[in-house]
Amino acid sequence: MTARRTGPAPADWVPVGACTLPTGAQPLRVAEFDDLFSTALTAVERSPGTATRARLLLAGPEALHQRVQRLADAETVCCTFFTFTVTPLPGDPDGTTVALDIEVPAVHSDVLAALVARAERARGASA
């Protein structure tokens, strides 16, 4: 018999040795990403043949830009190979629609692929 897991799954997009976030804090970070993806993700854009970059389009409440920036900054502290750029979309003075551009070195393209897959699963689960 297998035990049923409660709460968010581990940060399966980051290899164990690549993240300096304390193990006890990782489920909270994962929950933050899952909540963002399930409540705000509207689309994922990936250019064919580009495994090191992705763009997530997000829409939400007025404070969305600040929320995404805070989360991106926190993730960059513990996983320094990520480069996140949060950009309000043109014509949105309230910051309720933003693009989250993510870039990683080629050696971490699998990490980006896993993060994008998790984002798409979270969005699909909320639909």
**101-124: pLDDT as tens digits:** 999 999 989 989 989 999 999 888
Q: Fold for 42-126, please state it.
A: Alpha-Beta Plaits (3.30.70)
Q: Where are the domains of the chain?
A: 42-126
**Cβ within 8 Å of residue 16, ≥6 positions away:** none
Task: Read off the pTM.
Answer: 0.82
Instruction: Return contacts of 90-93, CB within 8 angstroms, 24+ apart.
Output: none
For 1, which DSSP code?
Answer: -
Residues of the chain short of pLDDT 70, as ranges, are 1-22, 25, 126-127
